[in-house]
Every structure is written in structure tokens, then in C-alpha cells.
């Protein structure tokens, strides 16, 4: 009865009801005070939920969606939002257009398709200038994610870059086989020793998951270098980065729409994961609701 007592305290002796909602009008300023918290159930569902995996997003949407629910996809932003109580649409009685019945659009499910830590590391290092030693350490760190060149060849490059630190680099040329041949002289007791060559691939191909829970993609990068006063500076530039992000997001959206088939890592059993109900439309765009 505390809510009713509050009504008396603010100056009104009767509680009004409209559309199932109890309220009072405050005499001194004409404001309306409602008592929705006293109802057994809220009049409108207002819920914003954040899901962390596509599987859980699909399960949530499947539980609460209806024929008017919509899913909006921001491809490059990595955001997917389901508005479960989107506006109702019915065919017009005259056969043209539609009859729109607005709803609050307050029941939403959000799924942020996060980048994997390895993708973030490789993306953030693109274009960064490394010293000879720094580049060797970086290659050693990301070696598990490199498909090309082969591990044995890459390991040899890392070992050479790590060991040959007291050297003067002279020049670099691109050979017919698509590699970069770097010429250097080892410094021995302040005098130049014999010349050596270090061959490095013209490109590196990473094989990584772009988004958490997604497929693996080949992510090519162009090898770059600069020689200044005998010192070697190395880096790489990722190629078609936006395309890789777009492809990964499209695969995620396809999974949400159609489901996907996976193999259980424990029993090698084939498992069919469902997508959202067929009647839900998925649109590329965003909404402020």
C-alpha cells in the first residue's frame, strides 16, 4: 500500500487507471506519477541483452522473435543487433502498401563480433617499422599463424636475423623467384668481412581467424624493407584487410541465417547447428533503437 499512500501524500485522493496503468495527477504542478512498479508484470517489455557468441545470439532470437522481428548487420563495424519488437506490418485492405502498427522497439539483442587476439596483433603491427632484431622476435612470436613461407624456411630467416646483428647491409634486390635478396657484410674487428646474402620472401601469408569463432582465412602481407647507413629496417603491409573482415562477417551472418555444420572435436560426430527462424529478415544497416 506504500504506492497508494504516496498518492495521498502528493495531494490526490484517488488513483486513476488507463490501459492497465495506475497513476495520479499531482495537483500542484499537473505532473503525472505512475505506479508501474506495483504491477505484477510490466506493460511493455524493455530489455537490452548482449550475447558473446553467434550460437547464443541465435538461441536468444529464436526464443523471443516474432514475424516482425528484424536483424541489422554492421559489416565493417562487427555489430549485429536484433530488434525483437520491431514495428508490426500487415497488408493493406485495399491491396496496396501496408498497414504499420508502431511498437516500442525496446527489446533488443546485441552481438559484437569481436576480432581474435591474433588478428588484432597482426593488424596492429602492419606498417610498423622494426629493427632487424625486433622483426626476428616478431616473426618468432607469430610463426604459428604464418602459412607461407614454410615453417622451416621461416625459422632459418629468424635465426639469421637474430644471429647476424653486427653486420652492414649493402643492398637488396628482388629475384625472379619472388624473393628479396639482401646483401650484407659481417663486421669483424672493425673491418668488413666477406659478403653474404639473406633471402626473404616477397610476401607473407597469415592463416588466422579474423573473428572469434569464425573460419580461418588467408591474409596476405607484402614484405617491405629499407637500408640506411648499413642498418636494416623491416615491416609488412597487410593486403586487402577490409576484404578479409567483410568475408568473415558474411560467413558469420550466413551462419546466423542458415546455421552451419561442424564436427565435434571429441567424437568426430557431425553436428548441425541451427540458424534463426526463416521468417526473420536480416538487413545490412543499423538502428538507434
Q: Are 51 and 60 in contact (CB under 8 A)?
A: yes
pLDDT of residue 1: 44
What global pTM score does this model have?
0.70
What does the pLDDT look like over 251-272, one tens digit per residue?
999 999 998 887 777 777 888 8
What does the pLDDT look like over 131-166, one tens digit per residue?
877 888 888 888 889 888 777 777 777 676 655 555
Q: Which of 111-120, 167-176, 269-278 has the lowest mean pLDDT?
A: 167-176
pLDDT at 179 over 50: yes
The arithmetic mean of pLDDT across residues 222-228, rounded, is: 76
pLDDT at 105 over 70: yes
- Pairwise CA distance, residues 216 & 205, whole Å: 12
Name the band, by pLDDT with cuts 50, 70 and 90, for residue 192.
very low
Share of the chain above pLDDT 70, in %: 70
pLDDT at 216 over 70: yes
The arithmetic mean of pLDDT across residues 216-230, rounded, is: 80
Share of the chain above pLDDT 90, in %: 30
List, as one string, the DSSP characters of 116-183: PHHHHHHHHHTT--EEHHHHHHHHHHHGGGEEES-HHHHHHHHHHHHH--SEEEEEEEE-TTSEEEEE
Amino acid at each position: 500500500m506504500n504506492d497508494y499512500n504516496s498518492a495521498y501524500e502528493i495531494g490526490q485522493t484517488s488513483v486513476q487507471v488507463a490501459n492497465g496503468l495506475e497513476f495520479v495527477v499531482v495537483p500542484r504542478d499537473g505532473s503525472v506519477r505512475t505506479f508501474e512498479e506495483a504491477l505484477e508484470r510490466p506493460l511493455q517489455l524493455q530489455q537490452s541483452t548482449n550475447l558473446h557468441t553467434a550460437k547464443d545470439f541465435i538461441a536468444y532470437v529464436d526464443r523471443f522473435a516474432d514475424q516482425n522481428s528484424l536483424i541489422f548487420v554492421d559489416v565493417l563495424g562487427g555489430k549485429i543487433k536484433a530488434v525483437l519488437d520491431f514495428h508490426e506490418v500487415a497488408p493493406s485492405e485495399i491491396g496496396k502498401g501496408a498497414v504499420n502498427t508502431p511498437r516500442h522497439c525496446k527489446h533488443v539483442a546485441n552481438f559484437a563480433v569481436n576480432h581474435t587476439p591474433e588478428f588484432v596483433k597482426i593488424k596492429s603491427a602492419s606498417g610498423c617499422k622494426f629493427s632487424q632484431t625486433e622483426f626476428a622476435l616478431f616473426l618468432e612470436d607469430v610463426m604459428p599463424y604464418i602459412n607461407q613461407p614454410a615453417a622451416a624456411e621461416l625459422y632459418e630467416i629468424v635465426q639469421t636475423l637474430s644471429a647476424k646483428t653486427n653486420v652492414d647491409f649493402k643492398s637488396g634486390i628482388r629475384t625472379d623467384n619472388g624473393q628479396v635478396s639482401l646483401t650484407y657484410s659481417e663486421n669483424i674487428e672493425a673491418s668488413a668481412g666477406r659478403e653474404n646474402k639473406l633471402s626473404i620472401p616477397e610476401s607473407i601469408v597469415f592463416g588466422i581467424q579474423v573473428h572469434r569463432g569464425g573460419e580461418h582465412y588467408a591474409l596476405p602481407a607484402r614484405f617491405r624493407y629499407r637500408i640506411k647507413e648499413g642498418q636494416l629496417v623491416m615491416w609488412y603491409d597487410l593486403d586487402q584487410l577490409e576484404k578479409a573482415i567483410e568475408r568473415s562477417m558474411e560467413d558469420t551472418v550466413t551462419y546466423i541465417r542458415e546455421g552451419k555444420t561442424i564436427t565435434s572435436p571429441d567424437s568426430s560426430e557431425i553436428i548441425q547447428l541451427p540458424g534463426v527462424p526463416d521468417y526473420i529478415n536480416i538487413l545490412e544497416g543499423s538502428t538507434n533503437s
